[in-house]
Amino acid sequence: MPVGRLVPVFAAFSLSLAAGSAGAELMPWDQGKATGTARQLEQAAHDLYDTFYKQPVPTVGSGQARAYQRLKQKIRGIRTQANQLAGDLEKGEGQEATLPAYEDLMQLVRSARDDARKVFTTQGVAEKATVVREQLNKLGPYYDPNYESLKPVTP
């Protein structure tokens, strides 16, 4: 197909994307609520980290060892990013200034969720992950007008 014929197709596609997000808006920024939620997220991420490290480590030949190590690193990163986000908000930085930290955190969360499907975790880890997910679901609408609530991870 000649390039000239593709231009209308791309234009129509672009317009459909814009129309789909045109009505979406961020939740009105509330520094106090965002900071409080980020503090709760920070504590929940710390609890998840501690609980994950206390669970039994898969044996090398189990097929889960590599995924476990990746997930371990990502949970450590989630704890670190949650700490950074809460600290920045506590210093009075607003939505725009903390958006990059939030986006980095969510990228880690999405990646960790993929790895979590491949690793057996204890009930305690699942419970702590639920608390982290609940806090992220409260915080998400402040940063992403199209935020979709995170659901529990299923294998």
Over 50: is that where the pLDDT of 22 sits? no
Over 90: is that where the pLDDT of 82 sits? yes
Q: Report the candidate in 77, 81, 78, 93 with the shortest Cα–Cα distance to residue 31.
A: 93
Answer yes or no: is 51 within a domain: yes
User: What are the pLDDT digits (tens) for 89-142?
Assistant: 999 999 999 999 999 999 999 999 888 888 877 888 889 999 999 999 999 999
For position 87, what pLDDT does the model report?
Answer: 98
Mean pLDDT of the chain: 85
Answer yes or no: is 5 within a domain: no
Answer yes or no: is 10 within a domain: no
Residue 51 sits in which domain range?
Answer: 30-143
Specify the pTM: 0.80
Indicate which CATH number applies to the domain containing 102: 1.20.120
For position 106, what pLDDT does the model report?
Answer: 95
Answer yes or no: is 100 within a domain: yes
